[in-house]
Amino acid sequence: MNKSDLKGLWMPSERLINNKLSDKEKIILSMIIYLSKDKGYCFATNNYFSDILNVTVVSISRIINSLKKKNYIKINMNYKSNSKEIENRQIIPSNEVINRYYQNCEYTVNKNDKTDYQNCKIPINTNDKDIKRNIKNKKYIVREYSEEFLTGLYANLDTNLL
């Protein structure tokens, strides 16, 4: 498997904000899901993940075992016949992980469907300019505070300095 097999990763926001997974676990899980889209499983080795992420093979092994314990993936080991030597490893993303991101989709987007932006009363460009103008104006607002307010913030401040 070459590094060129991996074209890029897309990570749903649900996985991105998942506090149960570390950053490396999120990346490796996304890679596993991407690499398993054709056959339903990923057969990438720890060395493959290690080369791409510049992490040790031991760290990759720990991360994959952690994903297995958290039920994000399943691992099947295929052994050579009449031997205990491993022929290959299949990393299978759990169906819950794969399907979780597609359940909330009510409809698919059609290129010819123009109903959403036709119903918009204010053109996006005008609205965008107004937003930018408001942000620029807020940068130059000068606020004035009374001495009583400032001394309340700084309890040990000598009032003669103001």
- pLDDT level of residue 142 (50, 70, 90 thresholds): low
- pLDDT level of residue 141 (50, 70, 90 thresholds): low
The Cα–Cα gap between 33 and 155 comes to 57
More confident residue, 146 or 108: 146
Give the pLDDT confidence score for residue 38 in this predicted structure: 84
Instruction: Please check the confidence at residue 53 and state whether its pLDDT lies above 80.
Output: yes
Taking only the tens place, the pLDDT of each residue in 72-101 is: 999 998 888 888 888 889 999 887 666 554
Sign of CA dihedral 16, 18, 24, 27: negative
- Residue 55, classified by CB atoms within 10 Å of its CB into exposed (0-12), middle (13-18) or buried (19+), is middle
Eight-class DSSP state of 158: -
CA atoms within 13 A on the CB side of 44: 30
More confident residue, 13 or 63: 63
Token code pair at residue 117: 């932006």
Closest CA to 29 of 104, 14, 102: 14
Q: For the whole model, what pTM was predicted? A: 0.56
Residue ranges and CATH numbers for the domains of the chain are 13-104 (1.10.10.10)
| R_g of the chain, CA atoms, integer Å | 27
